């Protein structure tokens, strides 16, 4: 029988721990403020931004909201980011992606002060992760490490395979698993004989962005499978990059979609915000 890794429950535990930590910090006169910028009104982005603001309110972090029109120029957005960089009251700056096409996302991300880049996307933070020094780490992979640790999954010495090499998920995931002493292989669209590689995985992280691509034929019996994908099917139901029905019986533990990785991303954003004023806010 396999274990379902409950991201809803674990993310709630983390939020409770952070809430307590924030209350203690407040007593010491330390407050935290996250500035959230949204350009345009993409409905999915509005839902994400709303959830992030709700999480801030829950754990006691102040949030400032900047809702800019779709036609905002790159210059206008950069000026806002620079103003927030210089504002001592703001600890974290989050620019909700994707941005409208007239704006260069990379330029915006690199303009956020690294010490306020709570998404962990700035080159300086990515570099810090690479060389093992202090910095913000991308929230989704950071959350996956928490899911594994809090579910009692040992990473050290295990064969870890990550499918996907995006800057937001795949690459930082590989670096984090390496930091935890896993033996890490990364697969991508040019990988040959991928099944041969994934079938060696004790821990398989799937961030491929293709609904139900990974089924039981990719999985070693008893592996731990983490599904990062989120897709809404024609039936309006959510599914992941893993075919849960086929894969789950062959795993020892697996994350569901929804209720697996998704809720962890916001919890770890909150973690990054709290760590702007306090080191290692949760175990
Ligand atoms: P992405 O930027 O599209 O990257 C997908 C990666 O998968 C790329 O590296 C690509 O390889 C690789 N790939 C594509 N097709 C492949 C195939 N057939 N075989 C092997 N590798 C293949 O996606 P992402 O931003 O990393 O996100 C991945 C998924 O996670 C998406 O479904 C996204 O919605 C979801 N997501 C969820 C959360 C959350 O909070 N739960 C957060 C972020 C993302 P190349 O590099 O060679 O093109």
Distance from the alpha carbon of residue 26 to the mean position of ligand 1, in angstroms: 39
pLDDT tens sequence across 210-234 = 999 999 999 999 999 999 999 998 8
Q: Are strands 238-239 and 231-232 parallel, antiparallel or unpaired?
A: antiparallel
Task: Judge if the beta carbon of residue 208 lies within 6 A of ligand 1.
Answer: yes
Q: What does the pLDDT look like over 262-283, one tens digit per residue? A: 999 999 999 999 999 998 888 7
Is the shortest distance between the CB of 228 and ligand 1 below 6 Å?
Answer: yes
Pick the residue whose CA is nearest to atom 4 on ligand 1.
166
210 CB near ligand 1 (under 6 Å): yes
Cβ of 163 below 6 Å from ligand 1:
yes
Number of H helices, E strands in the chain: 10, 11
Q: Mean pLDDT of all residues in the chain?
A: 97
Q: Active-site residue numbers?
A: 52, 96, 119
Q: pTM here?
A: 0.97
Nearest CA-CA partner of 189 in 204, 203, 212, 209: 209
Cα-to-centroid distance, 229 and ligand 1 (Å): 7
């Amino acid at each position: 029988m396999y274990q379902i890794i409950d991201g809803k429950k674990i993310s709630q535990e983390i939020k409770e721990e952070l809430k307590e930590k924030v209350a203690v910090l407040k007593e010491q006169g330390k407050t935290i403020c996250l500035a959230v910028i949204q350009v345009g009104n993409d409905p999915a982005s509005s839902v994400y931004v709303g959830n992030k603001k709700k999480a801030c309110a829950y754990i006691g972090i102040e949030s400032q909201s900047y809702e800019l029109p779709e036609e905002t120029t790159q210059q206008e957005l950069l000026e806002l980011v620079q103003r927030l960089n210089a504002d001592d009251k703001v600890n974290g700056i989050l620019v909700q992606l994707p941005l409208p096409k007239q704006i260069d996302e990379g330029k915006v991300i690199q303009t956020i002060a690294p010490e306020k880049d709570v998404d962990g996307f700035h080159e300086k933070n990515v570099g810090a992760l690479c060389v093992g020094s202090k910095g913000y780490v991308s929230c989704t992979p950071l959350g996956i490490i928490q899911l594994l640790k809090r579910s009692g999954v040992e990473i050290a010495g295990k064969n870890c395979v990550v499918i996907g090499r995006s800057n937001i998920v795949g690459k930082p995931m590989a670096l984090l698993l390496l930091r935890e002493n896993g033996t890490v292989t990364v697969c991508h669209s040019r990988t040959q004989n991928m099944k041969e590689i994934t079938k060696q995985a004790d821990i398989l992280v799937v961030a491929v962005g293709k609904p139900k691509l990974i089924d039981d034929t990719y999985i070693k019996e008893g592996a731990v499978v983490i599904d990062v994908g989120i897709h809404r099917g024609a039936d309006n139901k959510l599914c992941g990059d893993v075919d849960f029905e086929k894969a789950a019986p062959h795993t020892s533990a697996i994350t569901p979609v929804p209720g697996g990785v998704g809720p962890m991303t916001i919890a770890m954003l909150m973690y990054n915000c709290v760590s702007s004023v306090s080191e290692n806010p949760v175990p």
